[in-house]
Amino acid sequence: MRATFSERLVDLAVNIFLWGFRILIVAIIIIGTFFTIREGKYTSEQWIDFIVFGISQGSIYAMIALGYTMVYGILRMINFAHGDIFMTGAFGAYFTATWLTKAGFVDANPFLGLLIPILVAMAVSTLIAVLVERIAYRPLRGAPQLVPLISAIGASFFLEYAFRGFFGPGKYAYPPIKALEGTWEIFGIGILKVQVVVAISAFIMMALLYFVVMYTKIGKAMRAVSENKDTAALMGIDVNRIIVTTFAIGAALAGAAGVLFALVYRQVDFFMGFTPGVKAFTAAVLGGIGNIPGAMVGGLVLGVFESVGPSLFLEGLGITRAYQLKDAIAYTMLVMILLFRPQGILGERLSKQKA
Partner 1 sequence: MAAILTAKNVTKRFGGLVAVNNVDFEIPEKSIVSIIGPNGAGKTTFFNCITGYAKADEGKIVFDGTPIQSQRPDQISRLGISRTYQNIRLFADMTALENILVGQHIFLNSSWISAVLGTSYVRNEEKMALAEAQRLLNFVDLKGKGDLLARNLPYGAQRRLEIARALATKPKLLLLDEPSAGMNPRESEDLTAFIRHLRDELGITILLIEHHMRVVMGISEHITVLDYGQKIAEGTPKEIQNNKQVIEAYLGRGAATEGMDTAHERFSKKVK
Partner 2 sequence: MKKENFLLSATKTGLVGGAIAIFLCLIGMVEIFNKRDVIQGIVTLGQFVWLATAVGAGYTASQQTSHLLNGKKPAQNLTAGALAGFFSAALTAFLVWLGSQTDLRAIFINASPALYELLTFGKGLAGLPQLLIIGIISGIVGATFTLLPKAVQRPLLHALMMLIFMALFSGIFRVVMINQGNKWETLAKSIFSQTGLTQLGGWIFILGTIAISVFWSNRGEAVKASMARMPSKGKLSLRILVFLIIAVIALGLPQVSGPFIAQVIVIISLYILMGLGLNITLGFAGLLDLGFVAFFAVGAYTVGLLTSYGPFGLQHISFWVAVPIAVLVSMAFGAFLGLPVLGVRGDYLAIATLGFGEIIRLLAGSDFLAGYFGGPQGVIGIQKPCLGVLEPFIKLDTPRICDGIEIGQGAADHFLAGPGGIYYLAIISALLIAFVAWRLRESRLGRAWMAIREDEDVAEALGVNLIQTKLLAYILGAAFAGLGGAIFSVLIGSIFASSMQLLVSINVVALLVVGGMGSIPGVIVGAIALIGLPELLREVSEFRYLIYGTVLIVMMLAKPEGLWPSQATKRELHHETSAQGGD
| Contacting positions for partner 1 (CB under 8 A) | 1-2, 4
Residue 69 CB, shortest distance to partner 2, in Å, is: 14
**In this complex, which beta carbon is closest to partner 1, that of residue 266 or of residue 341?**
341
**In this complex, which beta carbon is closest to partner 2, that of residue 155 or of residue 213?**
155
Helix axis angle for 326-340 and 274-287, nearest 10°, is 40
Coil/strand/helix, residue 172: strand
2 binds, among partner 2, partner 1, none (CB under 5 to 8 A by kind): partner 1
**In this complex, which beta carbon is closest to partner 2, that of residue 87 or of residue 209?**
87
**In this complex, which beta carbon is closest to partner 1, that of residue 4 or of residue 15?**
4
212 binds, among partner 2, partner 1, none (CB under 5 to 8 A by kind): none
Residue 289 CB, shortest distance to partner 1, in Å, is: 20
Which residues here bind partner 2, judged by CB under 8 A? 1, 6-7, 10-11, 13-14, 17-18, 21, 77-78, 95, 135-136, 139-140, 143, 145-151, 153-162, 164-168, 274, 278, 281-282, 285, 319-322, 324-325, 327-328, 331-332, 334-335, 338-339, 342, 355
H helix or E strand, kind and range, residue 267: strand 267-268
148 binds, among partner 1, partner 2, none (CB under 5 to 8 A by kind): partner 2
Dihedral pair phi/psi, residue 170, rounded to 5°: -75, 170
- Amino acid type, 140: L
Burial per residue of 192-218, b for 16 or more beta-carbon CB atoms within 10 angstroms, e otherwise: bebbbbbbebbeebbeebeeebeeeee
Alpha helices in the chain (DSSP H): 5-39, 44-75, 82-102, 105-108, 110-132, 146-167, 193-215, 217-227, 229-234, 239-265, 274-287, 292-309, 326-340
Give residues with Cβ within 8 angstroms of 313, minimum separation 6: 28, 29, 32, 33, 36, 329
332 binds, among partner 1, partner 2, none (CB under 5 to 8 A by kind): partner 2
Phi-psi region of 206 (alpha: psi -120 to 50; beta: other; left: phi over 0): alpha
Q: Is the dihedral of CA 286, 84, 265, 170 positive or negative?
A: positive
Residue 13 CB, shortest distance to partner 1, in Å, is: 16
Residue 308 CB, shortest distance to partner 2, in Å, is: 18
Residue 95 CB, shortest distance to partner 2, in Å, is: 6
Residue 110 CB, shortest distance to partner 2, in Å, is: 24
